[in-house]
Amino acid sequence: MAIAVPQQLETALKEKLPGFEAHKEMMPYKRISPEEAKETLTPRQSAVMLLLFPVNEEIHVLFIQRTEFGTHSGQLAFPGGKKDPEDQDLLDTAIRETWEEIGIAQDKITILGKLSEVYIPPSNFLAQPYVGWMDRFPDLTLQPAEVQQVLTISLKQLFDPENRKSKEMVLPVFDVTVDVPYFDVNGYTLWGATALMINEFRWIYEAHFP
């Protein structure tokens, strides 16, 4: 499994992506599409890394919990951040941010492809997710100013329908209460842009690994 799965995922990510249709299932409120954001706004560019690795022949995914600071404080996310001037492209951004935030070097990651862009209204970021594969869970060095902790969960558990839930939450930027769809990650709430990305990945994964 540990050899076949990344090869099949790499092939799957080259096909037409479900994109906004998959995102809509996990949106806590109506969002404009990435295409609309690029046409009507000037979003900042960013990139994140969805990291996969095998444990006892089950694929796991890695999340970080951000520190209690800034627009997305305390939220679960993928390693990543804004594109810096020295980054050649958004893949460089995702690789650099993964190294800076959790200490995983580029040579430990095989890039399988990318998902659809996600527009993030509160911070006006247009985020490009990349999918990376690691042969094993690596040693980590967390950036304490940005990362509280790292959480991992198997795709089997994460994609269990029982772990897709919803609850009322106060949106921190808009100060309104809405019904928020989320993934339960071992008791932690995964919602917002990262949940949109994971849901698109779920659609792709379940279509190829039923």
User: In angstroms, what is the C-alpha Rg of the chain?
Assistant: 16
Q: What is the pLDDT of residue 72?
A: 46
The reported pLDDT for the residue numbered 28 is 84
Tens-digit pLDDT profile for the chain (210 aa)? 444 678 999 999 999 999 999 999 999 877 889 999 999 999 999 999 999 999 998 999 999 999 866 544 578 999 999 999 999 999 999 999 999 999 999 999 999 999 999 999 888 999 999 999 999 999 999 999 999 999 999 999 999 999 999 999 887 666 778 899 999 999 999 999 999 999 999 999 999 987
26 contacts 182 by C-beta, under 8 angstroms: yes
Quick one: which of 142, 123, 145, 102 has its CA closest to 193?
A: 123
For residue 138, count other CB atoms closer than 10 A to its CB.
16
**Strand, helix or coil for residue 27:** coil
Dist CA 191 CA 169 (whole Å): 11
Q: What is 2-25 written as a DSSP string?
A: TTHHHHHHHHHTTSPP-THHHHHT
List Cβ neighbours of 11 (8 Å cut-off, separation of 6 or more).
none
